Chain A
């Protein structure tokens, strides 16, 4: 008897467990359905319906004067910020990993502290003021430098971790053959920390690709805006959101991020680096 009630209880618990997992999964999946149905719907609304499959929305997207150029702007912004961040961070991380500069550990923790304290939202007013004063408003270089400044501390912190993990004997043997410091860095160190560089590069691109506030704040001309900002400007002449354009553009704009994330997690696994969203 007690065996039967026990197993009944186990069954009930098992069912309850799967109901919980199912409900939670539904909670996460349901808001995303619109992103996969609306772009293929002939007359997309806010509802999720089985679409009367059409690719017309993608055709009209290519005809929109802002849509594709803003994706290009996003790519330019992301790649430049990534390039500056990775270069500056790799140089700094290498030096900090190999040479005892006085106060190094304190500096590293200070950097980590700064990057989490001085966020774009908390510092938007002075950042706007600074760029206004430097006459860098509405210029790509201004946005790139501000974004780089925000990403660098975490990038240095993570890359130094990778560099610390690399045996010093590699560099010693390269030096025995007469390689200079920059040669050692370029031919020995950087190839060895490639996973770290790739992580930082993808992380930087994803951060910039998704960033709304900084371009929104620092660009004045609509044609310079990246996709994150342009996505909020698709309205019909009647002032209603143009849902065909919004949903289709959202899908196109999201795909690169998802692909990059898959690439990193497949290749290098999901890791935590001092709480950086990587």
Chain B
């Protein structure tokens, strides 16, 4: 952490011959630190400090209003032990695992790969068109896609019921988690598709050709040639989309956790506990658990990244 926090000043060029060899820009170590300082300061205060603060808040009985708001007491690990015993928290965690596993690890991964694999052999305009449609689902703002999916699955007049001839089926009410999983496959597959498309273009054509000449079927080519050579990409992709799905707040925009918390994934559960529920200490304890899960996923990701320089 840089100690200097002042803004970089426009100083006349001072050549420091000693540093020149490794420093073509003539910045010098001290000015370099001044350049880095504003960014590090912002990151330290608005990113790192909140994470550390979670540790402390989780140890208190902090509430938004009432006696505990003025004088929060340190209650030790009570929040953590009650969170770990809390059936609502267990349910939210279970739903989140289902959500991440179903929509990201399985759904986006498989559909993204299937799309990337099939789009290699179609005409250019077909490929461009399909990719564009998939990408738009990914780049639209979350608040918009939430309304699109509320409308799409609406019981009266929603497009899905019109297609399936099942008027009156209330998908968001009857199958909230299933609907969220399908929604998130729709929302996020673009990333996997693009990543796998890039990965597949790096598989040496000669190897595929050799496998084809040896009489390997499409499946065998996939299993014996393609999958082994893009294994790193599959791992990277799985970790990233899991991390993003795990931290996605869009489910709140669609269902607000309804009906009766049946669609409250962990981010929604934290929000409902912390703000409408006003139990900030308890919510902080859950936040910390979430940060730790993020940390495990991100450590694995950085580990993969460092081993395999892009």
Query: Which A residues contact B (CB, under 8 angstroms)?
Result: 17, 20-21, 24-25, 27-35, 38, 45-48, 84, 87-89, 91-92, 94-96, 98-101, 109, 111-130, 145-146, 148-150, 152-153, 156, 168-169, 171-172, 175, 178-185, 189, 206, 209-210, 212-213, 217, 227-229, 231-232, 243, 246-247, 250, 253-254, 257-258, 261, 270, 272, 274-275, 277
Instruction: Tell me which residues across on chain B come within 8 A of A247, comparing CB atoms.
Output: 147
Q: Is the CB of A116 within 8 A of B294?
A: yes
Q: Is the CB of B25 within 8 A of A98?
A: yes
Residue among B25, B129, B139 making CB contact with A99, cutoff 8 Å: B25
Residue among A101, A124, A246 making CB contact with B32, cutoff 8 Å: A101
Which residue of chain B is the closest to A209 with respect to CB atoms? B141
Q: Is the CB of B36 within 8 A of A101?
A: yes
**A35 to B290 Cα, complex, angstroms:** 34
**A185 to B27 Cα, complex, angstroms:** 10
User: B265-298, CB under 8 A of A: which get 1 and which 0?
Assistant: 0010011001100001001100100110011011
The stretch among B87-95, B207-215, B223-231, B300-308 that forms the contact with chain A is B300-308
Q: Is the CB of A46 within 8 A of B157?
A: yes
| Chain A proximity of B283: nearest CB distance (Å) | 5
Residue among B12, B38, B271 making CB contact with A124, cutoff 8 Å: B271
* Residue from B35, B39, B135, B152 with most neighbouring chain A CB atoms (10 Å): B39
- On chain B, the number of residues with a Cβ less than 8 Å from chain A's Cβ atoms is 106
Residue among A89, A126, A243, A257 making CB contact with B39, cutoff 8 Å: A89
Whether A179 touches B13, Cβ cut-off 8 Å, given contacts A91-B38, A109-B302, is: yes
| Chain B proximity of A240: nearest CB distance (Å) | 12
Residue among B48, B130, B280, B290 making CB contact with A25, cutoff 8 Å: B130
Report if B140 contacts A (CB, 8 A).
yes
* Given pairs A91-B39, A99-B23, A149-B46, 9 additional interface contacts (CB within 8 A): A88-B42, A124-B274, A125-B280, A125-B287, A128-B274, A130-B49, A171-B25, A212-B253, A270-B194
Q: Is the CB of B236 within 8 A of A275?
A: yes
Report if B57 contacts A (CB, 8 A).
yes
Residue among A29, A31, A113, A125 making CB contact with B298, cutoff 8 Å: A113
Q: Is the CB of B38 within 8 A of A277?
A: no
Q: Is the CB of A148 within 8 A of B46?
A: yes
Instruction: Tell me which residues across on chain A come within 8 A of B8, comparing CB atoms.
Output: 91, 182
Q: Is the CB of B27 within 8 A of A99?
A: yes
Whether A91 touches B43, Cβ cut-off 8 Å, given contacts A120-B249, A171-B26, is: no
Residues of chain B in range 122-178 having any CB-CB distance to chain A below 8 Å = 122, 126, 129-130, 133-137, 139-145, 147-152, 154, 156-160, 162-163
Interface of A is mostly: helix
Whether A130 touches B130, Cβ cut-off 8 Å, given contacts A210-B141, A212-B143, A228-B142, is: no
Report if B99 contacts A (CB, 8 A).
no
Q: Is the CB of B33 within 8 A of A124?
A: no
Instruction: Tell me which residues across on chain A come within 8 A of B270, comparing CB atoms.
Output: 121-122, 124-125
| Chain A proximity of B228: nearest CB distance (Å) | 21
* Residue from B12, B140, B154 with most neighbouring chain A CB atoms (10 Å): B140
Whether A25 touches B295, Cβ cut-off 8 Å, given contacts A95-B32, A272-B198, A272-B310, is: no
| Chain A proximity of B276: nearest CB distance (Å) | 12
Q: Is the CB of A168 within 8 A of B24?
A: yes
Q: Is the CB of B11 within 8 A of A117?
A: no
Q: Is the CB of B28 within 8 A of A99?
A: yes
Q: Is the CB of B291 within 8 A of A258?
A: no
Report if B263 contacts A (CB, 8 A).
no
- A-B contacts, 12 listed (Cβ < 8 Å): A33-B159, A46-B151, A92-B36, A92-B39, A99-B19, A113-B298, A117-B295, A125-B283, A156-B39, A180-B11, A206-B139, A232-B143
Report if B70 contacts A (CB, 8 A).
no
Report if B6 contacts A (CB, 8 A).
no
Q: Is the CB of B294 within 8 A of A46?
A: no
Q: Is the CB of B47 within 8 A of A149?
A: yes
**A114 to B295 Cα, complex, angstroms:** 8
**A38 to B274 Cα, complex, angstroms:** 36
Whether A20 touches B274, Cβ cut-off 8 Å, given contacts A45-B157, A116-B243, is: no
User: B1-41, CB under 8 A of A: which get 1 and which 0?
Assistant: 00000001011110000010011111111011101101110
**A253 to B29 Cα, complex, angstroms:** 45
Which residue of chain A is the closest to B267 with respect to CB atoms? A121
**A25 to B305 Cα, complex, angstroms:** 32
